[in-house]
Amino acid sequence: MQENLANASRDTTEIDIPTYSDGSVSNVYKYVKQMNKKLNIEQIDSGYVPFQIRIWFYYGLVDTNQLLLVKCVSDKWVCDWYTISFNAGPFKSDTAVTVIKNRNPKHGWAPFINSLFELKIGELPDMDKLPGIKDYIVTEPSGVNVEFAAINRYRLYSYYALNSFADKWWQVKSMSDLLRLIEDEFDFKRLKT
C-alpha cells in the first residue's frame, strides 16, 4: 500500500471545498494549506491512498488549535495529535507545536474506522450548506475543519457551534458523535473555551 499521495493530478481528483458566492476559494482551505506547510505535513488535496482524515479544532478566543491526523502508513494505521500554540515565545511571535504520535484506539483500528464511516465522516456536507442554517446568527467562535482524502478524492468541510445545533440537524449530531468517539478512543481532550 502506498504511504504518500495518490499521485493523482487535480484533473482527476474530485475536490469538494467551501467557496464564496463569487466562486473563490474560502479562507478555510487557505488556512489548512498554510498550516500543513507550517507543520511540515504533506498536502492531501490530490487524494491519498487508502485515505487520510485530519480534524482541525479551532477555538476563536484561545490562541491554541489542535489537529487530529489519522492515516495508514506502510499498512499500519497511525494517529497523531498536534497542539499548536500561536503567539508563543518571549516575544509572542512564535508558533509552538507539541505532537503525541502513534496513538491507538482503545477498541482497535477496525471498529474505530468502521465507526467513523457509520457517522458519515466522508459524506457530511459543509455546515453552511445545511438547509436553514443561514437563518441563525452564530456567535460561538469554536468548531472543526475536517479534511478527508481518499483515492482521487478530497473534501474539506467545517462545523461550528455544535452544542447549539446538534438537536436541529442530524449532520451536526453526527459530527458531535464523531468528536466524542475520538475523545473516548484516544483519551484526547479538546480545549475548553
Q: State residue 95's pLDDT score.
A: 72
User: What is d(CA 56, CA 46) in angstroms, rounded to the nearest whole number?
Assistant: 19
User: What is d(CA 180, CA 101) in angstroms, rounded to the nearest whole number?
Assistant: 20
120 within some domain: yes
Q: How close are the terminal C-alpha atoms of the chain, in Å?
A: 40
191 within some domain: no
User: Which pLDDT tens digits describe the chain residue by residue (193 residues)?
Assistant: 333 343 444 568 899 998 888 888 888 899 899 888 888 999 999 999 899 999 999 887 677 888 999 998 888 999 999 888 876 556 556 677 777 788 899 999 999 999 999 999 999 999 989 999 888 887 767 889 999 999 999 999 999 888 888 899 999 999 999 999 999 999 888 876 5
Q: pTM, whole model, 2 decimals?
A: 0.86
78 within some domain: yes
- Per DSSP (E only), the strands in the chain are 14-16, 51-59, 64-73, 76-88, 94-100, 142-150, 153-160
1 within some domain: no
Q: State residue 192's pLDDT score.
A: 66
50 within some domain: yes
Q: State residue 10's pLDDT score.
A: 52
5 within some domain: no
Q: State residue 85's pLDDT score.
A: 82
Domain count along the chain: 1
Q: State residue 1's pLDDT score.
A: 31
Residue 157 sits at φ, ψ, to 5 deg, of -150, 160
Q: State residue 4's pLDDT score.
A: 37
Q: Which domain holds residue 54?
A: 14-186
User: What is d(CA 21, CA 24) in angstroms, rounded to the nearest whole number?
Assistant: 7
81 within some domain: yes
7 within some domain: no
Calculate the dihedral angle through the C-alpha atoms of 105, 110, 116, 119, rounding to the nearest 10 degrees.
Answer: -120
Strands 64-73 and 51-59: antiparallel
Q: State residue 11's pLDDT score.
A: 63
